[in-house]
Structure 1
Amino acid sequence: MKKLLSLTLLFSTLALSAQDTEDTSSDKSFTLSGSVDAYFQTYISAPDNVGASFGTAFADKTGFALGMGNIIASYESGKVGAVLDLVTGPRGGAATFNSDIIDGIVNQAYVYWNVSESTTLTMGRFNTYLGYEVIAPAANFNYSTSYLFSSGPFSHMGLKADFALSDDFSLMLAVMNPWDTNDTSTTGEYSFGAQLGYSDQYLNFYYDSGNNGGLGFEVDYTGGFDVSDDFFLGINAAYNDNDGSGFYGAALYPQYATSDDFSLGLRGEYYALHGDDDAIDYPSVLGLTLTGSYTVESYLIIKPEFRLDSLTDADGGIFGNVVDNDGLPASSLSAFTLAAIYTF
């Protein structure tokens, strides 16, 4: 479920592997995996040509649009290995800030050492451990992304240690460059992260003394429960503060599998900005996203999606240029999206 581990496991099950043929007794392996996605989107409550936006990351075009393509190469020899995750396309460019590390091509690049059966050290650039959703759409149930995911960091550059404390408990500790500093840090500041896991429930912490020049921290809970064999409930809640301002919110992800090939899921999210200025009416959003997920021959995923976001407290501040079908200012936006995702 968590960012790096869940994404690697998801693609590894679909990967094409080539074993080292010269030394069959050695424990060497190469894995190549990835995904390609595209989508069609049209606004229901607004004209498509006004440049409206939900205020979240990715999938912000109307008409037919490309999401991203990515290729993940992984090589392991004994207790050590390396992963290189390359991305292209609008979603990949937005996730890497386009100019970040070799013109926005590198999503992840890290080396690791399995020091023991219970301890792994990782150094390099890796996707964030904060939040419920991830960059690659194949690992998310909803195609569009949440406000909580969009507001957090996408990746980190640093060193982390993962500890399997028992069959149920896990611990991760990390020292990294500051928030969204994924290439090199020139400020002399660093961030610190921690994650405590228990039976697929995760409590995440982030502290950054150099985040935009002030104190920054985030507390995040990510988890979920199998209510039944066919019904899963995912949960995400977070509070963020950066020197007196930030965001908070919560999202529920009920998902029901009607068959082996089709599932239906809802993301209900409340998201709000906060700050110390009493004169500001800080905006908040209630977002509802209904998504169907149909799998064709294990590799192609078709996702029809309806999304309705309503600004609950203030006008502006989160949405972009939002009007209704008569061209008048609006406090809500709805859209239909059809996405196609191929994994290999």
Structure 2
Amino acid sequence: MKKILTLTVLFMSIVLTAQDSSEVTKDKKFTLSGSVDAYYQTLLTASDDSGQSFGTAFAGKTGFALGMGNIIASYESGKVGAVLDLVTGPRGGAATFNTDIVDGIVNQAYIYWNVSETTTLTMGRFNTFLGYEVIAPAANFNYSTSYLFSSGPFSHMGLKADFALSDDFSLMLAVMNPWDTNDTSTTGEYSFGAQLGYSGQYLNLYYDSGNNGGLGFEVDYTGGFDLADSFFLGINAAYNDNDGSGFYGAALYPQYTLSDDFSLGLRGEYYSRHDDDLDDLPSVIGLTATGSYIVDSNLIIKPEVRLDSWSNNDDAFFDADGEDSSSLAVFTLAAIYSF
């Protein structure tokens, strides 16, 4: 009888252990995702062999060109996990400065801990919380990028804490290496970031005691509103200062959905530099019209026309006759595949 009871207890223990092991296994999850993009570009107001491009990040080549390819590996086990985002190609190299962290192939690499249902800690290298646009083109409506995005940091290296304060409010606090120091900081300086979110609207603050050797800060607003069922208006505005010089500007992103497969969007941006010691610095108005056609859930085709016009900068570009010009127009056709 004792043997039977002992065997029964042992059997139940094995079953319970197997169930616990099965539940633990279910909590473990590995995912692989990424994107590949390429484009064709031609200058509408100048010769393609003139070597001109806008003063913004990425997509600056004429003819057929590669954007980037990236692979994101994510592993989660219970409350903890890690993400490794690897990039290659001109866009990826520009986003990671080519020589930054293992020859520029690491876009993001971080570990996170869901401390509770409302609190998450993240340490490592992660893309910036500033601005409306991001590095991966699949997440942007426009294929080319804005001056505001191009002027800000692309990534940070540090520790951040995300708090879900309520269904509507969120808060992020971060301590990081200085601006664009995404590997090892040897200066003894650090930067601090904060983000307050409310129903899809975000107020971002950045402070850097070692930003290029001086005091630096940035305040940035990112958000948007559904003005109708098929009409969305995105908004971005920022002011940056680094010891008396920096930049400021604003951009509007109206987007209209014509069908399940096709949308039209416009980016209207005003951008200017500022310096306490200089007056009448150049400013630019950029207008970018983009169509977005979804071939299926993975492939997006984006035709785009962009016109940038500078004030107080008559020789920013030159036209088809080789004469100085304050404006440049470009047509781009991009293909983006995400998985």
Report the Cα offset of residue 263 of structure 1: 0.3
Please, what TM-score do these two structures have when normalized by structure 1?
0.91
Please, what TM-score do these two structures have when normalized by structure 2?
0.93
Confirm whether residue 314 of structure 1 aligns to residue 309 of structure 2.
Answer: no
Structure 2 equivalent of residue 50 of structure 1: 50
2:91 is paired with a residue whose SS is: helix
Q: Deviations over 1:197-225 (max 9, x none)?
A: 00000000000000011110000000000
2:307 is paired with a residue whose SS is: strand
Structure 1 CA distance, aligned partners of 2:52 and 2:327? 10
The count of residues paired between Structure 1 and Structure 2 equals: 318
Report the Cα offset of residue 67 of structure 1: 0.1
Q: Deviations over 1:95-127 (max 9, x none)?
A: 000000000000000000000000000000000
AA partner of residue 77 (structure 2): S
Structure 2 CA distance, aligned partners of 1:68 and 1:213? 32
Who wins on radius of gyration, i.e. which is larger? 2
Report the Cα offset of residue 313 of structure 1: 2.8
Structure 1 CA distance, aligned partners of 2:209 and 2:285? 31
Q: Which runs of 4+ in 1 moved over 3 A?
A: none
Structure 2 CA distance, aligned partners of 1:149 and 1:340? 21
Q: Deviations over 1:298-327 (max 9, x none)?
A: 1000000000000023345xx4xx211111
Which of 325, 328, 332 in structure 1 is aligned with 2:320? 325
Structure 2 equivalent of residue 297 of structure 1: 296
2:94 is paired with a residue whose SS is: helix
8 Å contact 2:314–2:324 — kept in the other structure? no
Structure 1 CA distance, aligned partners of 2:219 and 2:281? 20
Structure 1 equivalent of residue 139 of structure 2: 139
8 Å contact 1:283–1:315 — kept in the other structure? no
1:163-312 superposed matches below 5 A: 163-278=163-278, 280-312=279-311
Structure 1 CA distance, aligned partners of 2:91 and 2:22? 40
Structure 1 equivalent of residue 9 of structure 2: none
Report the Cα offset of residue 297 of structure 1: 1.4
Structure 2 CA distance, aligned partners of 1:343 and 1:139? 10
Structure 2 CA distance, aligned partners of 1:137 and 1:269? 18
Structure 1 equivalent of residue 331 of structure 2: 336
- Structure with greater helix share of residues: 2
2:277 is paired with a residue whose SS is: coil
2:92 is paired with a residue whose SS is: helix
Percent identity reads 83
Structure 2 CA distance, aligned partners of 1:341 and 1:43? 21
Q: Deviations over 1:60-91 (max 9, x none)?
A: 00000000000000000000000000000000
8 Å contact 1:306–1:334 — kept in the other structure? yes
Structure 2 CA distance, aligned partners of 1:227 and 1:64? 37
Root mean square deviation of aligned Cα = 1.0
Structure 2 equivalent of residue 148 of structure 1: 148
Report the Cα offset of residue 25 of structure 1: 1.4
8 Å contact 1:281–1:314 — kept in the other structure? no
Report the Cα offset of residue 51 of structure 1: 1.2
8 Å contact 1:85–1:108 — kept in the other structure? yes
2:101 is paired with a residue whose SS is: helix
Structure 2 CA distance, aligned partners of 1:340 and 1:183? 32
Confirm whether residue 60 of structure 1 aligns to residue 60 of structure 2.
Answer: yes
Q: What are the ranges of 5 or more consecutive residues in structure 1 without an aligned counterpart?
A: 1-21
2:93 is paired with a residue whose SS is: helix
Structure 2 CA distance, aligned partners of 1:72 and 1:28? 17
Q: Deviations over 1:119-153 (max 9, x none)?
A: 00000000000000000000000000000000000
Structure 2 CA distance, aligned partners of 1:42 and 1:275? 34
2:148 is paired with a residue whose SS is: helix
Structure 2 CA distance, aligned partners of 1:187 and 1:325? 47
1:25 is paired with a residue whose SS is: helix
8 Å contact 1:234–1:252 — kept in the other structure? yes
Q: Deviations over 1:156-176 (max 9, x none)?
A: 000000000000000000000
Q: Which has the higher contact order (CA 8 A, sep 6+)?
A: 1
